[in-house]
Structure 1
Amino acid sequence: MRKLTVSINSTVNGVVTGPPTGDETEWKWGSAPVAESLEAFLASLADVDAILVGRATYEDLVRKWPNFKQSGQADTTSRLAEKINTTRKIIVSGEPLADLAWGRFEPVTQLTGDDLQTQIKRLKRSAGGEIMTFGSPTLVQSLINAKLVDEFQLIIHPTVVHEGRRLFDNLVGRTHLQLIGVNTFDNGAMRVTYAVKRR
């Protein structure tokens, strides 16, 4: 079974979207990433060969990464762009989407219809490496409720806000976690990694 990991930015009080009055995918609460945090994130992608996202996150990512201009140096951001752009990307959407281009790279594929949980279970049972979900809080909540998440990587920023959507709302039952790693960064953020405990 392929591992499915959720990687998401969060405030200390669990807000994972931008202000609801604007583009919620513009996550403005956090401190700017430092080189060490980008390196840690890139390292977490080493065994990932499929990126699973919701529609809004796809629309946000496709504006940024396919058009990233390489600096000519193998810096962290350039290597991260290369990894994201060349890894298979799958959008989960209740309705079929027509244009799923990703610049000059392989187009995004999609899972759609009334049996999305079944399709994601089938994806997890297929051959391949790890699967990672970026952002996409609505999708993540559905994955948690379907007991399809194996690991959380929460990038927690030293900020508390009063508006925005929280990751762990709209959940059913309990999810038990086991702490497997903590990384702290110079900007005050930390990445906390939890494995989901199956009972």
Structure 2
Amino acid sequence: MGKVIAIEHLTLDGVMQAPGHPEEDPRDGFRHGGWASLRQDPVMQEVMGARMSSAWALLAGRTTYERFAAFWPKQEANPFTEALNRVEKYVASSTLAEPLPWENSFLLKGDVTDAVAALKEELPENLVVFGSGVLVRALMARGLVDELVLLIHPLVLGEGRRLFSGSESEELELVDSVATTAGVIVATYRPETRG
């Protein structure tokens, strides 16, 4: 049985919107896109690479899937590109239809939390989520996220979509942490009720 592992870039005030590049996600008038790209370093790449080196599958919401599918297949060969193109990708969307454009992509059917709960039982590998805030919040509400890997950047934006809406109440256990050379804290948490 696999686990659901959510890997999220966050600012100190909890914003997760558009970490990669300036035009990534301008919803709600967000104008600070690309904030995480300034702090990439070898330590962060090592942490991310470790999550992508063992058996895993990608779980993504529609917005993240569309952005990844438009970007990664067009990149030069490198370990991240090869890993993302190779793995099976499970997509939560009520608007997309199969066939999905990126190789090894499958659309989840029915209620997304039911579909993910079934996948956790069926698949031996972990389901790794990058971004996909709406999806992650739905999975957390149902108790389906087994691990949060939070890359916390030394930055306060004051606006933007947040991972935690403020209505959640859950105790988390810190199981690992490391500081990068760029001042990012990579903190791994698990819900205290699960081992």
TM-score by length of 1: 0.85
Runs of 4+ with deviation above 3 angstroms: none
Match status 1:136 vs 2:132: yes
| 1:93 to 1:112, Cα distance in 2 relative to 1, 3 A | farther
DSSP-derived class of the 1:45 partner: helix
AA paired with 1:129? E
Indicate the RMSD between aligned Cα atoms, in angstroms: 2.2
Is the CA contact 2:24–2:34 (under 8 Å) kept in the aligned structure 1? no
Residue identity over aligned pairs, in percent, reads: 31
Q: How many angstroms does 1:170 deviate by? A: 6.2
Q: Give the distance between the partners of 1:139 and 1:170, measured in 2 at CA.
A: 16
Q: Give the distance between the partners of 2:69 and 2:95, measured in 1 at CA.
A: 19
Unaligned runs of 5+ in 1: 71-77
Could you give the per-residue CA deviations for residues 34-75 of structure 1, whole angstroms, max 9, x where no partner exists?
1221121111223342110000001111122111112xxxxx
Is the CA contact 2:154–2:183 (under 8 Å) kept in the aligned structure 1? yes
Q: How many angstroms does 1:32 deviate by? A: 3.3
DSSP-derived class of the 1:168 partner: coil
Aligned to 2:155: 159
TM-score by length of 2: 0.87
Match status 1:121 vs 2:117: yes
Aligned to 2:109: 112
Match status 1:51 vs 2:53: no
Q: What does 1:6-25 align with in structure 2 at a 5 Å threshold?
A: 6-18=6-18, 23-24=24-25
Q: How many angstroms does 1:18 deviate by? A: 2.9
Q: 2:49 aligns with which of 37, 42, 46?
A: 42
Aligned to 2:71: 64
| 1:83 to 1:27, Cα distance in 2 relative to 1, 3 A | farther
Could you give the per-residue CA deviations for residues 94-148 of structure 1, whole angstroms, max 9, x where no partner exists?
234245112xxx24101133x2221111100013211111100011100000110
DSSP-derived class of the 1:14 partner: coil
Match status 1:29 vs 2:46: no
Q: Give the distance between the partners of 2:120 and 2:166, measured in 1 at CA.
A: 23
Could you give the per-residue CA deviations for residues 20-45 of structure 1, whole angstroms, max 9, x where no partner exists?
x9642894222231122112111122
DSSP-derived class of the 1:24 partner: coil
Could you give the per-residue CA deviations for residues 78-102 of structure 1, whole angstroms, max 9, x where no partner exists?
1121111111111101234245112
Is the CA contact 1:96–1:112 (under 8 Å) kept in the aligned structure 2? no
**Count of matched residue positions in the alignment of Structure 1 and Structure 2:** 186
Is the CA contact 1:157–1:188 (under 8 Å) kept in the aligned structure 2? yes
Unaligned runs of 5+ in 2: 27-31
